[in-house]
Amino acid sequence: MSATTKIAVHSLADLKNTSDDALPNYLTSLKFKQNHTQTDIRLALGYTAVAISGALFYIDWKFGWEVTKPYTAPAVIAYFILNTAFSYWIWFVENGVIFEGEGKTGKLRIQTSTKKHMPVYNLTAIFTPTYASGSSSSSKSTTGPQQTLHLRAPFTRWFTADGYFVAKPFQQWLASEIPIIGAADPKNVVEDIGRGNQTQTEAERVLNLGGDSNVLEVLEQLKKGAAAVGGGAGTGSSAGKGGKRRK
């Protein structure tokens, strides 16, 4: 799915649609069960309207206009009502929702949008976290209050310059910004999207270390040694505090 098809980097619709397609795939891979009710209602409304029009067309084609005439007015009225409901559903109820579902870490609803000529992915996440409480043997869980998050990110974060979608930074962005996704996928919660997939300690970040270095161990040894020397020279308690704070 990622980096298999090239898209037009300048087409905002392509950027949005590719991201919109990747998001539910990612979430269902994290075992969020997608709720298709909204989509199903939209499809039902749309196809009923189409069916009415199709039936009228069929009568016209088979039996001619004179026979069709009396059915036309009711058909048009019914179609108009369904169409209004259909448009209302898309514009106000769905309103850009590309995912709605529930997982072990909570309920989630995601709406996305883009503004014309701005290559920025606007995402609104409405979620209700589920906290597993108690010991592992009990299955009790409490739900937190519903929260809404408005996020924005430029598409350049997960698309290469020549138009390939890269899943990793996209997933990292989602996991890092939306808590219940991060809870379901802790490996992708990172400070810096696109860099390593380990969370680093403050010291590692400052010293710009990779994962394998033993510089930290050496640093700890030196600190212990200095504290011992300092503790030997002065009195116990103040030296203990001072050892940590020095520098």
Partner 1 sequence: MHHSTTISAPFHLRRLLSEVLTIAWVLATCYLLWASLRYVTDSKHPVLVVSSESMEPAFYRGDVIFLSNCQQKIHVGDIPVVWFQNRSLPMVHRAIEVHYAADSVKADSTFRQLVLTKGDNNDVDDRVLYPEGREYAYREEVVGLVKGYVPYAGWLSLIVSDRQWILYLMLGAVALFVR
Rank residues 67 and 219 by Cβ distance to partner 1 and give the closer one: 67
| DSSP 8-state code for residue 139 | -
Residues 70-129 that bind partner 1 (CB under 8 A): 72-73, 75-76, 79, 83
The full 3-state SS of the chain, as one line of letters, equals: CCCCCECCCCCHHHHHHHHHHHHHHHHHHCCCEECCHHHHHHHHHHHHHHHHHHHHHHHHHHHCHHHHHHHHHHHHHHHHHHHHHHHHHHHHHHCCEEEEEEECCEEEEEEEECCCCCCEEEEEEEEEEEEECCCCCCCCEEECCCEEEEEEEEHHHCECCCCEECHHHHHHHHHHHCHHHHHHCHHHCCCCCCCCCCCCCHHHHHHCCCCCCCHHHHHHHHHHHHHHHHHHHCCHHHHHHHHHHCC
Q: Does 53 bind partner 1 (CB under 8 A)?
A: yes
Q: Does 68 bind partner 1 (CB under 8 A)?
A: yes
Residues 105, 141: Cα–Cα separation, whole Å: 10
The residue from 57, 63, 88, 91 that contacts partner 1 (CB under 8 A) is: 57
Q: Does 17 bind partner 1 (CB under 8 A)?
A: no
Nearest to 186 by CA among 196, 175, 178: 175
Least distance CB 155 / partner 1 (angstroms): 21
User: How many chain residues bind partner 1 (CB under 8 A)?
Assistant: 28
Rank residues 1 and 226 by Cβ distance to partner 1 and give the closer one: 1
Least distance CB 35 / partner 1 (angstroms): 12
Q: Convert residues 33-52 into a mask of x (bound to partner 1 by CB under 8 A) and - (unbound).
A: xx-x--xx-xx--xx-xx-x
The residue from 2, 35, 60, 239 that contacts partner 1 (CB under 8 A) is: 60
Rank residues 167 and 239 by Cβ distance to partner 1 and give the closer one: 167
Most distant CA pair in the chain, distance: 111
The residue from 54, 194, 234, 242 that contacts partner 1 (CB under 8 A) is: 54
Least distance CB 89 / partner 1 (angstroms): 12
Q: Convert residues 129-168 into a mask of x (bound to partner 1 by CB under 8 A) and - (unbound).
A: ----------------------------------------
- Chain residues in the site for partner 1 (CB under 8 A): 1, 28, 33-34, 36, 39-40, 42-43, 46-47, 49-50, 52-54, 56-57, 60, 65, 68-69, 72-73, 75-76, 79, 83
